[in-house]
Copies of this chain bind each other. A is one copy, B any other.
Amino acid sequence: MAELQLTPPRKERLADKLYGQILEQILNGAFKEGDRLPAENDICSAFSVSRPVVRQALIRLQADGLVYSRRGSGTFVRAVPPSAITRFVLPSNVAGYLKSFEVRFALEAAAASLAAERRSSQNLHNLDEANELLREKIMNGQSPSEADFNFHREVAVASGNDLFVSLFEHLRGEISGSMGVALNLTKLGSDERRIAVLREHQQIVEAIRARNGEHAALYMRYHLVRARERITDAQRDP
């Protein structure tokens, strides 16, 4: 069985640090899909922390879909993020990107639902344009990160509630970063993956056009879950 190579930290936020170190070793292939992580006690010793810290880190890795635990048998690596990811992002940033998805699930699903209810013809026009620009960037192999940010920002604008726009822009750093990673991976990926990304955006637009708030929220959540899995899981395609 593989051994975790751990360096005891000096600083606070121990669980975050531990999360980052384990993530890094999953990213660089030291732990592979199906591998069992060391027992909690062993991680405690190796990392010089108490059990609550270890549990916190494991819960986060589990919430991020990187490991799963079986009652009584331990914690296992669920999926290895694509090694290509390391070309675009420091492992230590991945945690931040994944964290931004938790906020986006909540915020953007609500914004999409309201956008379907309230969007003006002008909002719809802007969404169509943003979507078209994104399509061109992706099909031409150009960096689509800004176009993607702009598309999601237009959904927030169409909600008619400017607080959604303001919060979305407050998250610009994390969101742009994670979009850059996800879309760069898409660029490297198969045609099927590119088409999936475009289809997901199109479904959001169509639900907003049809004024179907429930579907708009559903398609937004689906898109974000898929985008997140495109970062954490190379195997699942598209």
Contacts and interface: CB of A to CB of B under 8 A. Distances in A.
Given A40-B72, A102-B114, A170-B166, A121 B218 contact: no
Interface string A107-124: 101110010011011000
Nearest to A60: B160
A6 interface: no
Instruction: Return the 10 tightest CB-CB contacts between A and B, nearest first.
Output: A106-B110, A106-B106, A103-B163, A222-B222, A99-B161, A167-B167, A170-B170, A102-B161, A55-B71, A59-B118
Interface in A207-222: 210-212, 215, 218-219, 221-222
A84 interface: no
Contacts of A100: 163
A55 B199 CA distance: 31
Contacts of A215: 225
Contact of A72 (B51, B103, B170): B51
Contacts of A106: 106-107, 109-111
Copies in the complex: 4
Nearest to A171: B163
Interface residues of A, number: 52
Interface of A: 40, 51-52, 55-56, 59-60, 63, 65, 68, 71-72, 78, 99-100, 102-103, 105-107, 109-111, 114, 117-118, 120-121, 159-164, 166-167, 170-171, 174, 199, 206, 210-212, 215, 218-219, 221-222, 225, 236, 238
B160 A120 contact: no
A117 B118 CA distance: 17
Contacts of A121: 52
A22 to B, nearest CB: 16
A197 to B, nearest CB: 14
A68 B236 contact: no
